[in-house]
């Protein structure tokens, strides 16, 4: 993996275990890593409470519990009143966790003997990121007690009950005020519901060296946190004397009179992200409506039939195509989608285009796999279900990251699986999880703008995966800077100011 991407790497549970093992193999004892992890947890707690306040430390039977024993010991040394409870038989502790437990000289309570409500803060060191079963029985009741107590909870690695690879929780789960994790984030810290359950995520340095972990022959991760460092080197860099056609021409396929606004949002977004030209290609009956709407920077052309549309794509100046927003679900719209699938232009398939692809299986997915130009699909969860239909391997319990990756490989296209935790996946296995955005983006037309941003960057010769990642990040930042009260029309206008964040 390129060294400049290592800070953005997201490690799976297995990869993090391998990172620990590689560090231990180079001479750092596991108990030293555990001491450092426990100190990071104790530091987080110390920032939240005063000496003399009461802390309940809940320890499980594994290494997470070992971190908890270290944190409990250090907090007691710092003057906190610490109650430590172990959710296991003490004789079951092994390895570094057993060594850490030996350093705790206070009493060890059973989980049935404690009341979280009687303490000022709770440390959750019950279960780590690799938990593969639902918390049940006495421990499920304990989790509910902790949540009901309303006390701040600092979790070790992930909240107990959340899986580090998926962010999913099968059963009761701790709700954290803060989660302390180590070396690199895991997908579950960014994927919902894990992201919301983690609270503030603190990434602690425990002495694992990136140059060792990401050295050739070690860990080669393909999952990243979406940020400019992931795609800035592929960002469009135009010569000062460039003309509009060199900055890329975007075509937006529109439907009839019933959906004039959506394609225009996409076209405006393409221009605002730097494309030199944007043209609406619509049905003849909608041409006057588009011309009357403005802005003057948008061009309009009418395609009398699907053959005319295909001729415009092949014979005109088109560097990227956006098709789907308000396109329609009739036979003519389906023919337009077929033409786009046969074409070689970089293409963004959204909204109605995705419905057509899903409905015309296997013919349209086969065309998608065979098309010579890059394609980006931008479904929300409902469109995604229609797109993959009854294909195997897309059960929700597999997690959003795995489903997006599988779809990208199946379709031979970059897949942007939208939501508050949007996942961008490439056919080659790379994937990124986005954490920009806000609930303000849950507004009509927001997705049309995203499609236009992707198309605008594709037209400027940005590779499909990087263009999709950049578009999702910019779209999220536009939502963050605009705040509540946002409507989709505001998003393109926010883009020019955000481009400076990328280019600085």
Is 217 labelled a binding residue? no
Is 140 labelled a binding residue? no
Is 132 labelled a binding residue? yes
- Give the pair of three-digit tokens for residue 331: 């036979």
Give the HSE-up count for residue 115: Cα atoms under 13 Å, Cβ half-sphere.
2
Is 365 labelled a binding residue? no
Is 196 labelled a binding residue? no
Is 128 labelled a binding residue? yes
Is 64 labelled a binding residue? yes
Contact at 8 Å (CB) between 458 and 346?
Answer: yes
Could you give the CA distance from residue 365 to residue 412 in angstroms, rounded to a whole number?
9
Is 39 labelled a binding residue? no
Is 390 labelled a binding residue? no
Q: Which residues of 243-278 are buried (b: 16+ CB within 10 A; e: fewer)?
A: eeeebbbbbbbbbbeebbbbbbbbbbbbbbbbbbbb
Is 248 labelled a binding residue? no
- Name 375's bridge partners: 347
Is 63 labelled a binding residue? yes
Is 448 labelled a binding residue? yes
Among the listed residues 240, 190, 242, the one whose alpha carbon sits nearest the alpha carbon of residue 420: 190
Residue with token string 């998608």:
368
Is 33 labelled a binding residue? no
Is 131 labelled a binding residue? yes
Is 134 labelled a binding residue? yes
Is 422 labelled a binding residue? yes
- Give the pair of three-digit tokens for residue 499: 């481009």
Is 124 labelled a binding residue? yes
Is 130 labelled a binding residue? yes
Is 447 labelled a binding residue? yes
Is 419 labelled a binding residue? yes
Could you give the CA distance from residue 97 to residue 70 in angstroms, rounded to a whole number?
9
Q: Which residues of 336-359 are buried (b: 16+ CB within 10 A; e: fewer)?
A: bbbbbbebebbbbbbbbbbbbbbe
Burial (Cβ within 10 Å: 0-12, 13-18, ≥19) of residue 58 = buried
Could you give the CA distance from residue 60 to residue 138 in angstroms, rounded to a whole number?
13
Binding-site residue set for (6S)-NADPHX: 63-67, 128-134, 157, 262, 380, 448
Binding-site residue set for K(+): 64, 124, 160
Binding-site residue set for AMP: 418-422, 447
Binding-site residue set: 63-67, 124, 128-134, 157, 160, 262, 380, 418-422, 447-448
């Amino acid at each position: 993996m390129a060294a400049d991407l290592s800070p953005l790497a997201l490690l799976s549970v297995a990869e993090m275990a391998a990172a620990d093992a590689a560090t231990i193999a180079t001479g750092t004892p596991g108990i030293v890593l555990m001491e450092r992890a426990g100190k990071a947890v104790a530091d987080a707690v110390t920032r939240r409470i005063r000496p003399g306040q009461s802390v309940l430390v809940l320890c499980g039977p594994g290494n997470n519990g070992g971190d908890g024993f270290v944190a409990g010991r250090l907090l007691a040394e710092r003057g906190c009143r610490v109650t430590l409870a172990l959710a296991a038989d003490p004789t079951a502790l092994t390895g570094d966790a057993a060594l850490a437990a030996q350093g705790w000289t206070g009493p060890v309570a059973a989980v049935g003997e404690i009341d979280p409500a009687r303490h000022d803060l709770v440390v959750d060191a019950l279960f780590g990121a690799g938990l593969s079963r639902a918390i049940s029985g006495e421990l499920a009741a304990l989790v509910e007690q902790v949540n009901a107590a309303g006390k701040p909870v600092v979790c070790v690695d992930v909240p107990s009950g959340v899986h580090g690879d998926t962010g999913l929780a099968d059963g009761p789960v701790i709700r954290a005020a803060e989660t302390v994790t180590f070396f690199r984030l895991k997908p579950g810290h960014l994927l919902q519901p894990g992201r919301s359950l983690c609270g503030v995520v603190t990434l602690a340095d425990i002495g694992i060296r990136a140059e060792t972990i990401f050295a050739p022959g070690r860990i080669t991760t393909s999952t990243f946190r979406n940020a400019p460092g992931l795609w800035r080197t592929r960002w469009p860099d135009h010569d000062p004397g460039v003309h509009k056609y060199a900055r890329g021409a975007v075509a937006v396929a529109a439907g009839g009179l019933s959906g004039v606004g959506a394609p225009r949002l996409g076209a405006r977004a393409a221009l605002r992200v730097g494309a030199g030209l944007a043209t609406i290609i619509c049905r003849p009956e909608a041409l006057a409506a588009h011309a009357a709407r403005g802005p003057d920077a948008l061009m309009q052309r009418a395609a009398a039939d699907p053959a005319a549309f295909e001729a415009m794509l092949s014979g005109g100046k088109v560097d990227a195509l956006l098709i789907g927003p308000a396109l329609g679900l009739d036979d003519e719209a389906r023919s337009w989608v077929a033409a786009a699938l046969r074409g070689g232009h970089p293409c963004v398939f959204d909204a109605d285009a995705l419905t057509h692809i899903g409905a015309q299986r296997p013919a349209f997915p086969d065309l998608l796999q065979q098309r010579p130009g890059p394609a980006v699909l931008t479904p929300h969860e409902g469109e995604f279900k229609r797109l993959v239909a009854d294909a195997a391997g897309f059960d929700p319990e597999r997690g959003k990251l795995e489903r997006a990756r599988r779809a990208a490989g199946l379709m031979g296209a970059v897949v942007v699986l939208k939501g508050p935790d949007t996942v961008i996946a490439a056919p080659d296995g790379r994937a990124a999880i986005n954490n920009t955005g806000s609930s303000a983006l849950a507004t009509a037309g927001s997705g049309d703008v995203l499609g236009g941003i992707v198309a605008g960057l594709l037209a400027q010769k940005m590779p499909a995966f990087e263009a999709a990642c950049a578009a999702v990040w910019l779209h999220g930042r536009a939502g963050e800077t605009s705040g509540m009260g946002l409507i989709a029309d505001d998003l393109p206008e926010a883009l020019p100011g955000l481009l400076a964040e990328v280019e600085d």
